[in-house]
Structure 1
Amino acid sequence: MFYSRRSFLIIIGSIFGSKAFSLIRSSLNFSKNVGVPKQNLNFLNKVLAIPSSTTSSINLSNSIKKKVRVIVISDLNDNYGATTYSPEVIKSISLIKQSKPDLVLCAGDMIAGQKYSLTKKQIQAMWIAFDIHITSHLKQLKIPFGFSLGNHDASGAIYKNQLTFYKERILASQFWNNYQHIPELDFIDKGKFPFYYTFKQNSIFYLVLDASTHIISKEQLIWITNSLESLDSKQASLRFVIGHLPLYPIAVGRNNNGNFIKNGEKLQILLEKHDVHTYISGHQHSYYPGKKGNLELLYSGALGGGPRRLLNSKSPPVKTLTIIDISLPLKQTKYTTYSMSNLQILDIKTLPKSIGNIHRKDISSLKNI
């Protein structure tokens, strides 16, 4: 009890200064005259014995986390129907454990679906395998896990007004809404979870898109606007958006229509209007730390099968994992990206200075290239 009272009075002193201690002294003198129990007088005497320099050095904001670490992975899947994962995916768990992040994000393609011939049992087996290899370990480490669904998880492709992979979307929803698998996140809006939803963590507002196809529906665009205009979004220190498909292409073989969001420019304008800091995507299977306008674009690369070469680059493709260290006061991000085949850190200077209208995030603008 002594320490809780002591801490309380230290805080009072740090806020109100010497006046608070003068009041305590006056109360102490009065208490002696009216017969306050001796143990309470001893407590007050100990408080008054604390040097003033101690009270003035108390910083009430110390309890607020100013630096946040997020690990980003993406495109973990292997061949269609596979219930096994490549060595780089398995190796990532050790790196995650060592790095002690506040959150792990996956930009989609956790399993290897999007094939008509896959049965219900095969799809369910893939989700169980993902839990065994990935999410069960994160739960043991008590690391929150957020994700967007990719085209191989639960494609939202529509043909003749019908969902092409309706079965896969139903099974994905059943898996993630099972009480054993639902992530331990501070959800804000989970009405459409796991397809699109919002949550808040360490004063950062996260909006997850259903970008499992290149078309973002009008319904979802309205939801995006309303979510970013919400009080939770406005009060957050930063806003991040996560979706599987990127706004713009950056990889060989993924620069044709359907492999990036249609009208990505309009979506970027919407995100910038609401001061979104970063859009995190997958699908391109190439890592690139980009920026366009005021929006940072993290292309998270592939951790599983089929990494691809960047446009404007002759460097061989690599499987990657990215650590984002975020300074909330400065509103800045620092990436540390590993080549998971040899655990070497990638040098950002070896990447193209620009790809199309996107420039590398360490370069202030395209004009400086």
Structure 2
Amino acid sequence: MNPAQILIVLLQTSLKTGCTAVDPGITQNPVQLLKACLFTAFLVLVMPFWATSQPAGDVNPVQRATSTSLSIGDGSNANPVTLTTPPQTSASSQSVPTRIAIISDLNGPYGSLDYDWHVDSTVARIVRMQPDAVILSGDMIAGQDRRLPDDRFPAMWAEFDRRVAEPLRRAGIPFGFTIGNHDGSPFDAFNREREAARAYWKPENTLLEILDTGDFPFYFSYRVNDVFIISWDASSAEISEPTLNWVREQLRSPEAREARYRIMLGHLPLYAAAVGRNRYGEMLRQPDELLEVMTSNNVDMYVSGHHHAYYPGHKRGVDLLQTGALGGGPRPWLRFGAPPQKTWSLLEIPAQADAGVTITTRDAETGDLITSNALPRHLHGLTGFTIRRDNPPAQRWSSGWMTTSSGSAAGMLPNSGVEMRLQDDSLHLDVHIPAEFAASLAGSPLQWRIHTTIAESGQSDTLHAGETIVPHVQPLIYPPRPTFSQVFPVGQFDEDGLRGGVYYLTMFAGAGEQLRATTPIRATARLMPDPNLPPGSIPLRSVNVQTSDSLHTVRWERAIDPDGDGVFYTVRITEGPGSTSIWHTRMAGPNPETTLPVLPRTRSWYLELIPNDESLHGPVTGYWISP
């Protein structure tokens, strides 16, 4: 409120109870009484016009109650008045969403006092936006190095304060955070860093409405408008039992239960997102159990960092937002092929409980929006999968077959495939066995499995069988029936897994044989939701074999599936259609271009574009490459 508006409120208060309401003793002094009444008349006649003519400025539409001290009278006869202005409660202000900016992983090399320009630029942009709060999912400084001298840690925190925390504090923006492995790892070898973090952080400097200090700054709870947030210590893969007990208590508190939205903030994610991070120790241990703690206590979102790859995931009713990095080392997504990006996000939570929450994410370098359709439909790592949060429910799934020989793809088999549909709370499976595959069985029993598939540790393009969902042995004596069917209770499958296309059906020969990548006779199909089947053959724009002595450049037309998602590809070089001799395979992701190593020019080669990230679904487009 500007000064004129404050005086008008004073006037309105005075008029309701008469001029004597300002001071009961004022009637003993006729001069003071006359002054007060004349001053009141001036406010009634003049001040409303002045007040309405003043510019409102850049005001937060959700106002807090304020108190202003004024005096009426002069000298020793002045009478102090405390005026409390109630918060505005208009319909427009009640409908304004809570906006929370989210950043992560700001640090540079070990011990560095510097930050990339993306950090400064993003902080400046956030200050201009004036969100309700900022939360940072860890790695604010560049610690976790035992060789650093003692004075380096306070120096790094001082530079972080100068470049990040102080600009936000000066702008009056509350700042939530979680400790990352480079800020204060819980292992004994990094006790110095832990103590330096404790010395730097003070609750009052965050400008947060802290509800429970817990073991500040390692775990604590706070509120941003009607959003309840827990920061827990996920700076290593192990969540300690005291921390977990404290989290349960907080989530059952009245503040949490009555909140419009509940967020948990930690550094390590539940599941893998990025190349080079898909290994034990880089994700939280027992992620499914931790997710159950969240789902059973109505947590809406878990925000994490560490993997340096933005991904708006979802699983079992909880949004799993993996925040991209602003500092050094952005990483590509698992089995996707697209180049990494530095990103930051804005979370908007409407006041109405039935309205949807939106996540807007931008490239920190270009400012461009990151659309969810440019990201993988699901990510599957060592400890489990997540699906993209906008994946719609599906009713039907289907796939073509791709056979493998000693673990290498050997070509798509035509006129066959797998179909699955949801009907009467059951999943109906129809398997159409290709004659080529049946002939190779030579009278052996046929086994098949429905299973998940995961990327091996540290790899972006190597698969092995994951969790077996449905084991089954189908006796098959040659010549076989061309089709067999099966019905399953829908409860055997994870609904999110069906939405994300994380299930596969693999057939293989031999009684008692285990499903593995080296099984000689096997055929695999990915059960993809029908809305996300890729289109037909993709035109190849060019195969440039003259680019350099060591690389070929391959380009093709970008393709979009009926759901609007980019179709991503594996590029494969063989000796010919259906050949089991694979010269080279490379994940291309959604980018319509890739490079391949130089090919011997003693013969022609066959180039195949295989849709979808696992190379196990969709029509293959093939081209001969002549030297």
Q: TM-score, normalised by structure 2?
A: 0.48
CA deviations 1:225-258 (Å, max 9, x no partner) are 1110111111111110000000111110001000
Contact persistence 1:65–1:202 (CA under 8 A): no
**Secondary structure of 2:176 counterpart:** strand
Aligned to 1:207: 230
For 2:200, the aligned partner's letter is F
Which residues in structure 2 correspond to 1:54-65 (within 5 Å)?
Answer: 64=94
Q: Does 1:367 align with 2:395?
A: no
CA, structure 1 residues 63+90, in 2 after alignment: closer, same or farther (shift >3 Å)? closer
Aligned to 1:174: 199
For 1:354, the aligned partner's letter is H
Aligned to 2:373: 349
**Alignment counterpart, residue 112 of structure 1, candidates 126, 142, 166:** 142
Cα deviation, residue 264, structure 1: 1.1
Cα deviation, residue 3, structure 1: 4.9
**Secondary structure of 1:156 counterpart:** coil
Cα deviation, residue 5, structure 1: 9.2
Q: Does 1:99 align with 2:129?
A: yes
CA distance in 2, matches of 1:292, 1:186: 29
CA distance in 2, matches of 1:88, 1:136: 17
Question: More helix by proportion, 1 or 2?
Answer: 1
Contact persistence 1:244–1:283 (CA under 8 A): yes
CA distance in 2, matches of 1:327, 1:262: 33
CA deviations 1:253-301 (Å, max 9, x no partner) are 0010000100111011011111000000000010000101100011001
CA deviations 1:100-157 (Å, max 9, x no partner) are 2110000000000000011121111100000000011001211110000000000013
Aligned to 2:273: 250
More divergent stretch after superposition (288-297 vs 94-103): 94-103
CA distance in 1, matches of 2:132, 2:93: 15
Q: Does 1:339 align with 2:363?
A: yes
CA, structure 1 residues 60+319, in 2 after alignment: closer, same or farther (shift >3 Å)? closer
Cα deviation, residue 191, structure 1: 3.2
Contact persistence 2:100–2:135 (CA under 8 A): yes
**Secondary structure of 2:151 counterpart:** helix
**Alignment counterpart, residue 68 of structure 1, candidates 81, 88, 98:** 98
CA, structure 1 residues 302+59, in 2 after alignment: closer, same or farther (shift >3 Å)? closer
**Alignment counterpart, residue 304 of structure 1, candidates 321, 327, 340:** 327
Contact persistence 1:78–1:112 (CA under 8 A): yes
For 1:74, the aligned partner's letter is S
**Alignment counterpart, residue 186 of structure 2, candidates 156, 164, 181:** 156
Aligned to 1:192: 215
CA distance in 1, matches of 2:167, 2:252: 35
CA distance in 2, matches of 1:81, 1:72: 24
**Secondary structure of 2:223 counterpart:** strand
Aligned to 2:253: 230
Aligned to 2:313: 290
CA distance in 2, matches of 1:367, 1:289: 18
Cα deviation, residue 164, structure 1: 2.3
For 2:101, the aligned partner's letter is I
Contact persistence 1:311–1:355 (CA under 8 A): yes
**Secondary structure of 1:191 counterpart:** strand
CA distance in 2, matches of 1:192, 1:255: 30
CA distance in 2, matches of 1:235, 1:291: 23
Aligned to 2:264: 241
Cα deviation, residue 332, structure 1: 2.7
Identity of aligned residues (%): 35
CA deviations 1:183-230 (Å, max 9, x no partner) are 111111113100000001111110011000000011111111111011
**Secondary structure of 2:214 counterpart:** strand
Q: Which has the larger radius of gyration?
A: 2
CA deviations 1:53-96 (Å, max 9, x no partner) are xxxxx976665464111100000000001011001111112220
CA distance in 1, matches of 2:90, 2:122: 37
Which residues in structure 2 correspond to 1:249-288 (within 5 Å)?
Answer: 249-288=272-311
Aligned to 1:146: 176
Aligned to 2:190: 165
Aligned to 2:341: 318
Q: Specify every segment of 5 or more residues in structure 2 that has no aligned partner in the other structure, as ranges.
A: 1-6, 14-36, 38-43, 45-87, 393-495, 500-528, 530-627
For 1:86, the aligned partner's letter is D
**Secondary structure of 2:288 counterpart:** helix
For 1:121, the aligned partner's letter is D
**Secondary structure of 2:320 counterpart:** strand
CA, structure 1 residues 178+281, in 2 after alignment: closer, same or farther (shift >3 Å)? closer
CA distance in 2, matches of 1:267, 1:196: 16
CA distance in 2, matches of 1:4, 1:256: 65
For 2:134, the aligned partner's letter is V
Which residues in structure 2 correspond to 1:24-39 (within 5 Å)?
Answer: none
Cα deviation, residue 99, structure 1: 2.2
Contact persistence 1:238–1:328 (CA under 8 A): no
Aligned to 2:164: 134
Q: Does 1:80 align with 2:103?
A: no
More divergent stretch after superposition (359-368 vs 208-217): 359-368
Cα deviation, residue 6, structure 1: 6.8
CA, structure 1 residues 60+323, in 2 after alignment: closer, same or farther (shift >3 Å)? closer
Contact persistence 2:94–2:351 (CA under 8 A): no
CA distance in 1, matches of 2:162, 2:344: 20
**Secondary structure of 1:200 counterpart:** strand
CA distance in 2, matches of 1:233, 1:121: 39
CA deviations 1:292-315 (Å, max 9, x no partner) are 110001100111000000013111
CA distance in 1, matches of 2:91, 2:298: 24
Contact persistence 1:286–1:309 (CA under 8 A): yes
CA distance in 1, matches of 2:109, 2:170: 28
Count of aligned pairs: 318
CA distance in 2, matches of 1:277, 1:331: 13
Aligned to 1:53: none
Contact persistence 1:195–1:210 (CA under 8 A): yes
For 1:311, the aligned partner's letter is L
CA distance in 2, matches of 1:193, 1:332: 32
Q: Specify every segment of 5 or more residues in structure 1 that has no aligned partner in the other structure, as ranges.
A: 8-38, 40-45, 47-57, 158-162
CA, structure 1 residues 59+69, in 2 after alignment: closer, same or farther (shift >3 Å)? closer
CA distance in 2, matches of 1:321, 1:256: 25
Larger relative contact order, structure 1 or 2 (CA cutoff 8 Å, min sep 6): 1
For 2:358, the aligned partner's letter is K
Aligned to 1:358: 386
Contact persistence 1:286–1:317 (CA under 8 A): yes
